[in-house]
């Protein structure tokens, strides 16, 4: 196990090639999706109109799909594939072929869905809620993306399984264990979205059936939609737990605590979708309450993570002679983009997590549910905590994979980029939160609603969002410059793939953590408990269903 953590270990060049292929698609999605986001905020300010007959909801759908699904899924799969190769050993030829098949399936699906969005044949927003109806190619493309991600994830599981077979009775490398937990959670969660697309939306869009059950479709989407958030978040946690300690020169506070927190995310992130449907008729309130309780269980591994991280920082600081309650804060390596950029993501997660508790609380959710507050929360969690950490990972991982070095100039530009992003998001997300409390709706283009005074009061906040969106787009330009430099132009060299070791090397992680039958069994039991009876009730008491609508 310790050999796999050697600082000299590199990702196999053949594995690096596949990881980089994922990153090229991810950063391409960032460029196009970021432009769509900028256009949205400019339109919502009331000071700009889209040219060439481009529709607002066309742009909104492209932004959500490219940033929320394409950027994240490709980056995560590329990162996890490299992390497993680095810690569990090079992937076999069979696993590598599996990974490439998954990558090309995902890429083909992305091109199919993206083309339909750009042709205005799929302006159904990021959640593609029925009865909004898209072209069948859009739904088939989504199916390819999901199935491709399963195949991509299978490559990681194959290499993990090979390591387990060759090292019986030993706990697997921490990063590989975390990657597999996240992949398994993703596969279980995406069964919901695959089911609604394959059995409802695809036949409906092909005209094989006339109507669709909207509540069934929405329930299956949110069975997937909330664990999707943790699918984004857990790779950031992988960096925070296992990589940041090595970067700062410290140790992982507890290997076992890190593993336990990931298992708790697997258990409690899936049977909670009803907290996105608290205002939805047709679902018994008792089942909504149960899933809200399960939602708050996810707070536990989040607080475990916060404790572990700050224990690592404080112990490192004390080892450097730091005194007082916060003396350790001063000795952290603030001039190292590999640390500072993810740390800013961590700091953003404090208000983001607090907003999540509000969204999941039945009474408070009534106030903010269909307002732009939710969009502001989303941009603090996914677009700040997660994305800033992803940027920080790319600053050392891309040169590691391409055989180049993170130069002082790029390191400094990375820190500048993070501050630009942080400031832009403070403007945009802050204004969204306030406008949401004033009743401003989400998913809506600019409107004064007949010069209603309430709507006119929102306009200053919408202008602030445009200012923030413009600053964020500058941040995207900066990160693309850094990515292109590190991929093609930085000087040749060896950039470390940092992997931390536990503070107490004698502490052996309990093998029960690797008992997949146990954890998958509990996960399945929780899902069946949370969904079986309400789902039967939804189907038995279903209305006739809805015909499709193409609104835009």
> What positions carry a catalytic annotation?
226, 230, 377-379, 442-443
Contacts of 199 (CB under 8 A, 6+ apart): none
Contacts of 29 (CB under 8 A, 6+ apart): 66, 67, 70, 71, 74, 110
Phi and psi at 495, nearest 5°, equal -100, 130
Half-sphere exposure of 418 (CA within 13 A, CB side): 31
Q: Torsion angle, CA of 446/452/454/455, rounded to 10 degrees?
A: 0
**Residue closest to 440 by CA, chosen among 424, 464, 419:** 464
Residue 361 DSSP one-character state: S
Contacts of 161 (CB under 8 A, 6+ apart): none
In the block, residue with structure tokens 């630009």: 420
In order of 75, 86, 271, the CA distances from 25 in angstroms are 8, 22, 31
In the block, residue with structure tokens 């690592």: 312
| Distance of alpha carbon 552 from alpha carbon 547, whole angstroms | 16
In the block, residue with structure tokens 């609603």: 449
Phi and psi at 441, nearest 5°, equal -75, 155
| Distance of alpha carbon 189 from alpha carbon 523, whole angstroms | 11
Residue 90 DSSP one-character state: P
In order of 36, 41, 425, the CA distances from 431 in angstroms are 19, 11, 9
Q: Are 318 and 289 in contact (CB under 8 A)?
A: no
| Distance of alpha carbon 13 from alpha carbon 51, whole angstroms | 45
């Amino acid at each position: 196990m310790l050999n796999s953590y050697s600082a000299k270990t590199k990702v196999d060049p053949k594995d690096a090639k596949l990881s980089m292929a994922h990153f090229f698609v991810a950063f391409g999605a960032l460029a196009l999706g970021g432009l769509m986001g900028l256009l949205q905020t400019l339109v919502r300010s009331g000071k700009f109109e889209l040219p060439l007959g481009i529709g607002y909801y066309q742009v909104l759908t492209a932004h959500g799909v490219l940033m929320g699904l394409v950027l994240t899924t490709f980056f995560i799969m590329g990162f996890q594939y490299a992390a497993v190769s680095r810690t569990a050993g090079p992937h076999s030829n069979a696993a590598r072929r599996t990974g490439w098949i998954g990558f090309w399936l995902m890429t083909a699906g992305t091109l199919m869905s993206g083309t339909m969005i750009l042709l205005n044949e799929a302006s159904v927003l990021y959640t593609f809620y029925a009865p909004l109806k898209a072209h069948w190619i859009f739904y088939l493309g989504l199916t390819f993306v999901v199935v491709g991600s399963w195949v991509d994830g299978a490559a990681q599981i194959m290499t993990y399984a090979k390591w387990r077979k060759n090292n019986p009775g030993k706990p697997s490398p921490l990063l590989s264990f975390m990657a597999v937990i996240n992949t398994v959670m993703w596969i279980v969660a995406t069964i919901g979205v695959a089911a609604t697309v394959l059995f409802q939306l695809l036949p409906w869009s092909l005209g094989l059936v006339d109507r669709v059950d909207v509540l069934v479709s929405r329930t299956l989407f949110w069975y997937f939609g909330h664990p999707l958030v943790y699918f984004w978040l857990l790779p950031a946690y992988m960096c925070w737990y296992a990589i940041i300690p090595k970067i700062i020169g410290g140790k992982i506070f507890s290997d076992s605590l890190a593993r336990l927190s990931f298992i708790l995310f697997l258990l409690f992130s899936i049977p909670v979708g009803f907290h996105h449907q608290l205002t939805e008729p047709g679902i018994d309130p008792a089942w909504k309450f149960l899933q809200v309780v399960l939602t708050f269980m996810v707070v536990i591994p989040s607080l475990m993570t916060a404790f572990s991280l700050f224990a690592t920082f404080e112990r490192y600081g004390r080892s450097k002679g730091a005194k007082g309650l916060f003396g350790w804060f001063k000795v952290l390596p603030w001039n190292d983009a590999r640390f500072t950029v993810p740390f800013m993501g961590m700091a953003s997660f404090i208000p983001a997590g607090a907003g999540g508790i509000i969204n999941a609380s039945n009474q408070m959710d009534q106030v903010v549910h269909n307002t732009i507050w939710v969009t502001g929360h989303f941009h603090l969690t996914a677009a700040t905590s997660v994305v800033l950490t992803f940027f920080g990972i790319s600053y050392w991982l891309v040169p590691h994979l391409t055989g180049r070095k993170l130069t002082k100039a790029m390191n400094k530009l990375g820190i500048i980029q993070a501050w630009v992003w942080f400031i832009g998001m403070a403007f945009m997300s802050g204004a969204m939160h306030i406008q949401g409390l004033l009743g401003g709706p989400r998913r809506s283009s600019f409107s004064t609603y007949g010069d209603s005074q309430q709507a006119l009061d929102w306009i200053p906040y919408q202008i602030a969002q445009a200012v923030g969106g413009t600053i964020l787009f500058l941040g995207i330009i900066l990160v693309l410059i850094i990515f292109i430099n590190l991929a093609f132009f930085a000087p040749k060299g060896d950039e470390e793939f940092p992997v931390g070791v536990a503070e107490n090397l004698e502490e052996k992680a309990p093998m029960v953590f690797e008992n997949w039958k146990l954890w998958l069994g509990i996960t399945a039991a929780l899902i069946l408990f949370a969904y079986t009876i309400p789902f039967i009730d939804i189907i038995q008491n279903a209305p006739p269903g809805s015909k499709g609508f193409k609104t835009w």
